[in-house]
Amino acid sequence: MSSNNCSNTVAVIGAGAAGLLAAVTAARAGANVILIERTSDGGRKILISGGGRCNILPGHAQPQLYVTDSSPNTLRKILRSWPLHEQRAFFEHELGMPLELEPETGKLFPASNRARDVRDILVARIREAGASIWFEASVVGLQPDSGQWQIELENAPSLTAACVVLATGGLSVPKTGSDGTGLNIAEALGHTVHPTYPALTPLIADPHPHASLAGISLTVSVNAPGSRPAFSTTNGLLVTHDGWSGPSILDASHLAIRGKKDGSRQELTVQWAQVDAYEWDQKLQAEKGTVRSTISSLLPRRLADQLISEAEVDGATRLSQLRKGDRKSVVETLTQYAVPWTGDAGYKKAEVTGGGVSLSEVHPATMESTKCPGLYLCGEILDAFGPIGGHNFLWAWATGRSAGMNAAAQLA
């Protein structure tokens, strides 16, 4: 097959969040950039993010909440390379896209509330900076070749580039273009890929004991007893037609999924209201009325009825007649409810992929591979993900910028 020789070029593979940032940064630094993207328009996860509004960044960085099998210190070092306030300033002042903080969630969104604007402005700035974008071009292989890189494309001549930014994402939501090819390429080049797993994905149950409650959403606390490091979050839970979702469940899902993989079961327990066991115990002793009226004063009635029935107590019982053992059972169900999940929604619905290329195999200051000089890695292909709330874009922007900046510097 003939070859396009662009030996003074930075080739960025993948036009997701990380690749778009890498391409705009490298092109603005004066590099000749070719951005290669399998889909017809790129940035498809950006388009579906934040319910179509794109939660572009968190209001507060929380590096301690990221998950990795690599060194958490390396992860934090990478995150520090582009602090949140600088990222925000970049979007607002350099790209000209005002952001707004949603006070109730602490998340940042574009003021337009349109995810498409985020993708489109990045693509436009990449073009303005003189980079080429090749859509509907799929990379199938990558080989070092006498200090350069041969990039093999599907049904097209291969391309030679001086350096490569690999920003192909993980395995989550394959219809957005990420199918793990990039992970295979990195592995074939000698990188360690930590086992991957779906993360930030709904949990499901078959049979689903709460199917009749689908649509109920409320703020709960979720705990993972015995997990290391300890896990606890207070956030939204949504009962779906086949299980449970919402930020609290999504943030805890990797613990259940990973436990399941190694044959053990990591319980996730729910406290259904912002009332702890002691307070419920007091309420159930001190208040007047029935079990049902007391519980449904703080929970949706249908959920209250379901939980009372699972506690095997008659909701019509007057509190003055509630036996101690029944009170204990109700309190436990209300505060330490073990979610009866039997599976998860997998990569099809996972917002991110856990695992990936080991962080020990990138230089944290440049994102260049320690195995393959001239190869830079960024975004979800790496072994790191953060919780719901803009933390995953923060990772993609930070690593993408660093990869693009340092790839361009290599050519200068």
Ligand X SMILES: Cc1cc2nc3c(=O)[nH]c(=O)nc-3n(C[C@H](O)[C@H](O)[C@H](O)COP(=O)(O)OP(=O)(O)OC[C@H]3O[C@@H](n4cnc5c(N)ncnc54)[C@H](O)[C@@H]3O)c2cc1C
- Residue matched to tokens 């360690």: 192
Choose which of 99, 119, 177, 299 interacts with ligand X (CB under 6 A). 177
Choose which of 6, 173, 313, 372 interacts with ligand X (CB under 6 A). 173
Token couple for 375: 């190869």
Site for ligand X in 129-158 (CB under 6 A): 138-139
Token couple for 94: 């350099």
117 contacts ligand X (rule: CB under 6 A): no
Distance from C-alpha of 167 to C-alpha of 182, rounded to nearest angstrom: 8
How many helices (H) and strands (E) the chain has is answered by 13, 19
Choose which of 178, 240, 245, 306 interacts with ligand X (CB under 6 A). 178
The H or E element spanning position 202 is: none
Determine contact, residues 351/172, Cβ cutoff 8 Å.
yes
Distance from C-alpha of 403 to C-alpha of 132, rounded to nearest angstrom: 18
Segment contacting ligand X by CB under 6 A, of 44-52, 75-83, 240-248, 292-300: 44-52
161 contacts ligand X (rule: CB under 6 A): no
Determine contact, residues 269/332, Cβ cutoff 8 Å.
no
Distance from C-alpha of 277 to C-alpha of 334, rounded to nearest angstrom: 8
105 contacts ligand X (rule: CB under 6 A): no
Segment contacting ligand X by CB under 6 A, of 15-23, 244-252, 284-292, 307-315: 15-23
Choose which of 9, 25, 32, 55 interacts with ligand X (CB under 6 A). 55
The CB-of-224 to ligand X minimum distance in angstroms stands at: 22
42 contacts ligand X (rule: CB under 6 A): yes
The CB-of-60 to ligand X minimum distance in angstroms stands at: 13
Choose which of 11, 12, 17, 291 interacts with ligand X (CB under 6 A). 17
Quick one: 168 or 223, whose CB is closer to ligand X? 168
Distance from C-alpha of 294 to C-alpha of 273, rounded to nearest angstrom: 12
243 contacts ligand X (rule: CB under 6 A): no
Quick one: 51 or 226, whose CB is closer to ligand X? 51
From the list 346, 336, 347, 345, the residue with the least C-alpha distance to 267 is 336
**Burial class of residue 278 in the structure, from the number of CB atoms within 10 Å of its CB (0-12 exposed, 13-18 middle, 19+ buried):** exposed
Site string for ligand X, 181-220 (x = CB under 6 A): xx--------------------------------------
Choose which of 33, 159, 199, 352 interacts with ligand X (CB under 6 A). 352
Segment contacting ligand X by CB under 6 A, of 26-34, 37-45, 69-77, 78-86: 37-45
Segment contacting ligand X by CB under 6 A, of 30-38, 189-197, 269-277, 355-363: 30-38
- HSE at residue 276, side-chain half, CA atoms within 13 A, is 3
Segment contacting ligand X by CB under 6 A, of 13-21, 27-35, 248-256, 268-276: 13-21
- HSE at residue 191, side-chain half, CA atoms within 13 A, is 31
Query: Which of helix, strand or coil describes residue 343?
Result: strand
Neighbours of 335 (CB within 10 A): 21
Dihedral pair phi/psi, residue 43, rounded to 5°: 60, 30
Q: Is the C-alpha dihedral spanning 228, 229, 232, 238 positive or negative?
A: negative
Determine contact, residues 252/233, Cβ cutoff 8 Å.
yes
294 contacts ligand X (rule: CB under 6 A): no
Determine contact, residues 235/223, Cβ cutoff 8 Å.
no
Choose which of 19, 198, 354, 374 interacts with ligand X (CB under 6 A). 19
Segment contacting ligand X by CB under 6 A, of 34-42, 87-95, 121-129, 226-234: 34-42
Chain residues that interact with ligand X, rule: CB under 6 A: 13-19, 36-39, 42, 44-45, 48-50, 54-55, 138-139, 167-169, 172-173, 176-178, 181-182, 351-352, 379-380, 390-393, 396
